Structure 1
């Protein structure tokens, strides 16, 4: 029981980490591709308590989350640079 609770917590953490990026992703070209995916993630968060999870699945999701964040570093750095440049010019 405790292990399942921990797995659900880890999964919830991954999903929240990705969802926290939603406002920032609106500034990059990928946002339209990801909009439906964010809706799906929000639905998953609501259903986590109903899920049966195993360590391998959660570890795979954690790895995918880390890869996703790594892939976003370059596009997000461009967005940050543009926003800072805009702020500096004002």
Structure 2
């Protein structure tokens, strides 16, 4: 499943996760991604304003031959629970 949307950045970042997540409790950090319990912070080159984001949910690890032209690749485990 792949979805595209626009999100607003603030201070070169946007957050994905639970509203009540403690975003200062980072457990894993990379060049462009910080992850903690119930959230992920994505660092961007845009200081403020909208950025277009693609989100793809995969059942297995992606084929790395498809990402050879990317400048930075981040990998993290983000557990999402839903009652839907």
Both structures adopt the same fold (TM-score exceeding 0.5)? no
Measured against the shorter chain, the TM-score band is: under 0.3
TM-score by length of 1: 0.25
TM-score by length of 2: 0.26
- Flag the structure with more relative contact order, 1 or 2, with Cα contacts below 8 A and sequence separation at least 6: 1
Which of the two has greater helix per residue? 1
Which of the two has greater strand per residue? 2
Larger radius of gyration: 1
